[in-house]
Amino acid sequence: MNGLEDCVFCKIIAGEIPCDKVYENDRILAFRDIQPQAPVHILILPKRHMESVLDLADLKTGLSANVIEAAAHIVRLERLEASGFRLLTNCGADAGQTVSHLHFHLLGGKQLTAPLA
């Protein structure tokens, strides 16, 4: 199998693995993390397989705007506007990326501390 066939997020997108879906459109899927680091911990990912934000930057397709639009929608849905939230992505093993499919973590629902892995 190649990397794409082994990608757990591609399998979730394809419906082969279930998820607790929060948001979906034709380009983006968002679901609750199975190992949450905060009361609200949602993964937002493009349906198109790419490994990191560096690949996203090269596309020039508006997909980055789609991610931000999805995050804003989810923030309102989860009622995080007033208390605040964190939106981040890890790029590479040293940064803590454990799945080689670009994804953003949306965290909130409590006071977040500086160290996150």
Q: What is the pLDDT of residues 50-88, one digit of tens each?
A: 998 888 776 667 888 899 999 999 999 999 999 999 999
Distance CA 108, CA 37 (A): 9
| pLDDT score for 12 | 96
- Whether the pLDDT of residue 117 is over 70: the answer is no
Distance CA 29, CA 98 (A): 18
- pTM comes to 0.89
Give 3-108's CATH code, choosing from 3.30.365.10, 3.30.428.10, 1.10.3720.10, 2.30.30.100. 3.30.428.10
Beta-ladder partners of 24: 29
Residue with the bigger pLDDT between 3 and 21: it is 21
Just list the catalytic residues. 103
- Whether the pLDDT of residue 34 is over 60: the answer is yes
- Name the pLDDT band for 103 (thresholds 50, 70, 90): very high
| pLDDT score for 58 | 66
| pLDDT score for 49 | 93
% pLDDT > 90, the chain = 68
- Name the pLDDT band for 35 (thresholds 50, 70, 90): very high
Distance CA 81, CA 76 (A): 6
Sequence ranges of the domains in the chain: 3-108
